Structure formats: C-alpha cells, structure tokens
C-alpha cells in the first residue's frame, strides 16, 4: 500500500465534502481511508487553519517567502460575515468592511 502525502489526504477530504451535498457523519471519511481518530485530527486541523489569516507562498528559486494576506481586522470581519447566527444586515456590513479593508491593504502593498 502506497502512503498518501499530506496534500493528497487533504485533497481527498475536500473532494468527499464537495461530492456529498448534505451534512454527513465523520464516519463517512472511512470511505477515503481515514479511521475515526485520524479523521478527527484532520478535521480539527482544517477548522483551525480556516480560522487563521490567509497567507501566500512565493517560491523564488531555493527560497520560499511567506506573505500574510489578512490582518487581524480581516480575520475578525471574515468571522462575522461567516457567522450564520448573526443577522444578514450584520453579515453584509462585515463583508463590505472586509472587502474595503482588503482592497486598501492591496493598494498599499503595490
């Protein structure tokens, strides 16, 4: 049996999530070869990363540069507009604020 790389495992998880239309139990990840304990660790890692600022990797020859694309304000705004417990108005304003801050930070970095 050939071991999958980390990227291959993550890709398999997201392909399964995209294929299944409705919420599903974690045990469904056994279909892609993840036992319940490993599946729980992967899901914890994915949800942890989704809460963090977005980054970009720039590979230049032998060097890899990591650039943070979002500030704390971006992360806070994103959390608000992704929070389904908040009102649509609140989420809409947070989205507008996020986009304005993102555009401003991109213009400043040019």
Query: Do both 68 and 32 map to the same domain?
Result: no
- 106 pLDDT more than 80: no
Strands 63-68 and 55-60: antiparallel
1, part of any domain: no
- 109 pLDDT more than 80: no
Query: Do both 60 and 102 map to the same domain?
Result: yes
Indicate the number of domains in the chain: 2
Q: For residue range 73-97, what is the model confidence (pLDDT) as tens digits? A: 888 888 888 889 999 999 999 999 8
Domain range enclosing 21:
6-50
Query: Do both 37 and 65 map to the same domain?
Result: no
Q: For residue range 27-40, what is the model confidence (pLDDT) as tens digits? A: 999 999 999 999 99
Query: Do both 98 and 60 map to the same domain?
Result: yes
Residue 35's pLDDT is: 93
70 contacts: CB under 8 Å, gap ≥ 6: 53, 54, 78, 102
Compute the residue count for the chain.
110
Residue 1's pLDDT is: 60
- 17 pLDDT more than 80: yes
Residue 68's pLDDT is: 85
């Amino acid at each position: 049996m050939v071991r999958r790389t980390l990227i291959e495992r993550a890709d398999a998880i997201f392909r399964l999530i995209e294929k299944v239309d409705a919420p599903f139990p974690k045990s469904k990840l056994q279909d892609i070869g993840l036992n319940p304990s490993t599946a729980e660790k992967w899901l914890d890692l994915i949800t942890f990363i989704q809460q963090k600022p977005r980054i970009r990797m720039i590979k230049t020859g032998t060097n890899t540069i990591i650039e943070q694309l979002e500030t704390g304000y971006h992360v806070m705004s994103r959390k608000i507009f992704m929070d389904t417990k908040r009102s649509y108005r609140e989420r809409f304003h947070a989205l507008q604020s996020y986009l304005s801050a993102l555009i401003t930070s991109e213009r400043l970095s040019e």
